[in-house]
Structures are given as structure tokens and as C-alpha cells.
Amino acid sequence: MRKISDTIARLAALQGHYANNTAEHGGRSHLQTLASFGSDPGGLNARYYLPANLSESAPLVVVLHGCTQNAYAYNRYSGWSQLADQLGFGLVFPEQKRANNSNLCFNWFQPADSRRGSGEALSIRQMIETMVVEHGLDRERIFITGLSAGGAMASAMLATYPEVFAGGAIIAGLAHGSASTIPEAFDRMRGHGGPSKAALQQLLREASPHEGPWPTISIWQGTADNTVVPSNADAILAQWQGVHDVGTRPLRTENVDGQRRQVWCDDNGRELIEKYMIAGMGHGTPLKTSGNDCLGSAGPFMLDVGISSTRHIAHFWGLAKPTMWRPVKTEAVSGTAMRSFTPAEELRLVHFDPTPEPLAPNSRASASGITKVIEDALRAAGLMR
């Protein structure tokens, strides 16, 4: 096994650089804090953004930052809230705490945090449910993306809660179940060892009781990434080819903004998996910060390489379609997306009045009103006891 000390040292050095840059540029922007979203067994923070032109039954995008990053800076550099303003969808940003991981990485390699109904994975699931219930978002259009450790955690969420997501995008991430310890995590990042293709596909099928349909998958990887090497993109692809029943060879290969895009489709031509290999790019999120269709800005691990992964991912998910404007609303939880929960998470049918109680003058929002509605909804969905 290759030594991991050099990787740890480089991450620590980058952490200091990134902390300074974030303090100067990341700001607190316009994200709001989701103060209450259930039992939060993973001990995470949650930030969110809703544009003024939130569309009728708007989609929700879950965005997971990478190591040494936070929600505010990742949003600022990636341009997700800028795109939400243009297209009218909601955003939620799970955010790691240093008490959980000193480098602010999501603990994708810890089984207790990356399996269904447990730890950080369940915390993220609770955030999603809270956003859907509180803001009347569309359960059929929930998507997730992440960079690096956030990408690996997105892999875990897509595998463990596939019925929740219409699609996912993994940027410089790793396949679900590829590591279960810190040494294994560093080995996999460097491309050493790991489960076979058959084992990866089995890990995906065993991660939940779901039997389909499956979320579409967008994979982004730099060819010069020495932190999470390109073979990890191949492992992610192999893991999802099985459930999507597509062959190893792409249906087509095309050039998009000067980069290679490979596409795997079903028999009707619907795109199920796409894979971008960004020539010469190191470790980070691909951005286009000038010219037509520019979005976001360059920063640590946010790389201006002439292609906006944010914009292309949204297009792959179908978020660029015209939508109707509507005011923010609150509605009751539905059990539609909950049918495939494990026995421990079985839907418990409870009835409650979804209308928030009026708040007393100068009271803090919702201990007796909206929070109770959300907590009841989480219990109804089997996400909170």
C-alpha cells in the first residue's frame, strides 16, 4: 500500500490556503441556515437557497462541497445559486463540521455515515425531506451533486436512497462502497485496489431495497487529477452500468466545449449515464467563468477550464426547461417517494394539519408551528423517531 502521509500533508497545506481564501472571498453570501431538519444523526449543518422566481413545484438540487470547503464558498465559486435564479429551482447545501472531520470532508468512507438510515447519509436525507415539505418542492425532481469527498458522498446517497433522486452528478468522486477505512480511502483515491466491477454492482444493489427505476448519472473527472485519479471515474461508471442495463461501450462520443463526452442510453435513446473527461485538468470542479454561458468564478479546487460543469449538469437533468413562476408555499408530506424504505424506516402513517400555526409577535420562527409540521412530516416518512 502506498504511503498516505504525502497526501495528508498536501491536504493540510491546501486547507490553510483555502481557509484564508474563503475568509476573504467566500463570505456568508445569501444562503440561509436550515436550523431544524430532524434528529440529524450525522451532526451536519444545512444551508439553503430559494430564488425569488421559485417555479411551480420546483426541483431541488442537493450540493455537497469537497474537503476544506464550506457551503458558502462552494456555492459562490460553482454558480449554483446564480443558475437557480435563472431557472427557478431550490438548493440545499449539507455542510460538514470540523468536529466530525478535521479537514471538513464528508465521511463517505465510514460505513456508519454512508449507509441507509444512519449518520451523515440520514442527516442529508432529513434535510431533503424538510425542504420538500416546507417549500412544496417536487419529489420527482430531486438531484444531487458533489465534488471529491462530496462527490463520494453523492455516490453514497444515490446508492442508499436511489428512490429519492431523479439524477446525480459526481465530480472527482469515488464509487459507493469502494472503501470502509481511512487507509482504504486514500488507496482508492490513488487508484490502488478496490472492489471488482461485479462487486461494485453488487454493493449498489445491496445498498437499498430499491429495484428501479434508477437515477441518471453524470460523471466528471480531470485526466491530470493526482488526488482522485481517473480510474475512479471508471469505477463509478462500472457500478451504474449494471442497474441501468447498458453495455460497456458508449452509444456515442461527442465534443462539448472542447471536451470529450461519452453517453450511454436506453433502448429508446434516453440518456442514462454521461461521462466527461476534462483534458489536462487536476482536482476540482470544471468551470467556465468568461464568455457565453459563463457561471461562477475560479478558486481553490474550482477550476476555470472553459466548460461549466454546473450548467451542463443542470441541462443533463432537464432543469433548463421552461417553468411557471409561483410564490413559495408549504404543503404536506407525501409517501410517494418512500415506498422502498428498509423495515427500520417503514412509512408510519400519521395525520397532521400541514398549516403552520400563527407565530406570536417577535417570536422565533416555529418551535410550535413550522418546526412541528416538519418534525411530524419526518416521522411520517420514517426519517425521525
- CA atoms of 176 and 115, how far apart (whole Å): 10
- CA atoms of 327 and 53, how far apart (whole Å): 7
- CA atoms of 61 and 92, how far apart (whole Å): 6
Place of cell 478558486: 299
- CA atoms of 291 and 18, how far apart (whole Å): 26
Cis status of the peptide bond prior to 213, with omega within 30 of 0: yes
Q: Are 103 and 73 in contact (CB under 8 A)?
A: no
- CA atoms of 223 and 220, how far apart (whole Å): 10
Beta bridge partners of 95: 45
Assess whether 148 carries a catalytic annotation: yes
Q: Are 72 and 27 in contact (CB under 8 A)?
A: yes
Question: Which of the following is catalytic: 148, 178, 218, 309?
Answer: 148
| Strands 90-95 and 259-265, bridge-based pairing | unpaired
Of 175, 170, 64, nearest in space to 121 by CA: 64
Query: Would you name the residues annotated as active-site residues?
Result: 148
